[in-house]
Amino acid sequence: MPLAPAPARNLITTTKTPPFWPANTPRWLLSFLPWVEVGAGVYRINRVTEPAQVVVDYDLDAPNPLTEVSYEDTPPEIELASVETNVQVYTRVADLYSRPFDQLQQQLRLAVQQIKERKERELLVHPRFGLLTVAAPEMRLTAGGPPTPDDLDNLLALVWKLPAFFVAHPRAIAAFARDCNERGLTLATVQLFGVPFLTWRGVPIVPSDKVPVTEGHAEGAEAAGGGGPGRPGGTSSILLMRVGEEQQGVVGLHQSGIGTADLPSLAVRLMGINEANIARYQLVCYFGAAVIVDDALGVLEGVAV
């Protein structure tokens, strides 16, 4: 008799994948933001309160005006926050069951992914430095329904000095694309990090599911095309920012001297092995964000999605 499939399977080597976490996202905001190393855990933003007075002197014989540039007496300071988690692994599991994949490394890899997910969320909503929290009142607009080309143009009018990119929830981007389709407008794309991104007026629109969505049907959204049959209702925000210290823009902050080039500001520490032979590792990441000048960040609020 020929060899049957069932006993034959006992001799094969199964091809395995590493463990995948379905909630893992690209976390584009972490990639698009420029990062500044903070040496002592605090970032101080020194701003000018009174610029120099510049005059045109048509009388070459007249004496020059005397002036000085004044700074804020108490400049704002941003202390880095931290996100952390613990990983526990039986030493015998790490010893005996680490082929073809190292059990400890896989546990740490998945924990790092979760830390980065929380890091991107806090960059948007943290009560001290979250971008949606600290945007200046004069840099906020309110949408009257789904986002329109006029809404994004108004954001560009606020952040007109070297706008770098929009950030929006994927549902907000879809709502904007629907509105453009209804108007017969085609959105161009640009390749960044090897991935195509939609653009408006040449400015990339970066998706992030960490931008909060308030569930529920927004007032006026149905008439304007938001929500609708088969689509959940709710409201969200769209951000537009200028980035970089040299541009007086938005920057991410991390602690220097901690972590590696691949994982800056993220420390992995062995906390010990207990009597049950469980090894405990602590993972902690230090980070923050700063808006150096208020006009570097604009927010469109109340966007129906």
On the question of pLDDT at 2 being above 60, the answer is yes
Q: Which residues on adjacent β-strands are paired with residue 166?
A: 205, 240
Q: Indicate whether this model's pTM tops 0.85.
A: yes
What does the DSSP 8-state code read for residue 243? B
Confidence at 224, pLDDT banded by 50, 70, 90: very low
Domains of the chain, by residue range, sit at 32-305
On the question of pLDDT at 51 being above 60, the answer is yes
pLDDT score at 279? 97
Q: CA-to-CA distance for 150 and 142, rounded, in angstroms?
A: 12
% of the chain exceeding 70 in pLDDT: 92
Tokens at residue 223, please?
Answer: 């008439």
The closest alpha carbon to 179, from 147, 142, 201, belongs to: 147
**For residue range 80-93, what is the model confidence (pLDDT) as tens digits?**
999 999 999 999 99
- The four Cα atoms 218, 221, 227, 229 give a dihedral, to 10 degrees, of 120
The closest alpha carbon to 289, from 224, 210, 236, belongs to: 210
Q: What is the CATH number of domain 32-305?
A: 3.90.1690
97-114: buried (b, 16+ CB within 10 Å) or exposed (e) per residue? eeeeeebbeebbebbbbe
The closest alpha carbon to 82, from 291, 288, 290, belongs to: 288
Q: Find out whether 151 and 300 touch, Cβ atoms under 8 Å.
A: yes
Helix ranges, 49-169 (H): 91-96, 103-125, 131-134, 149-158
% of the chain exceeding 90 in pLDDT: 76
**For residue range 111-145, what is the model confidence (pLDDT) as tens digits?**
999 999 999 999 999 999 999 999 999 999 999 99
**For residue range 226-283, what is the model confidence (pLDDT) as tens digits?**
555 556 689 999 999 999 999 999 999 998 788 877 777 899 999 999 999 999 999 9
Q: Which residues on adjacent β-strands are paired with residue 78?
A: 43
Could you tell me which residues come within 8 angstroms of residue 5 by beta carbon, excluding any fewer than 6 positions away?
A: none
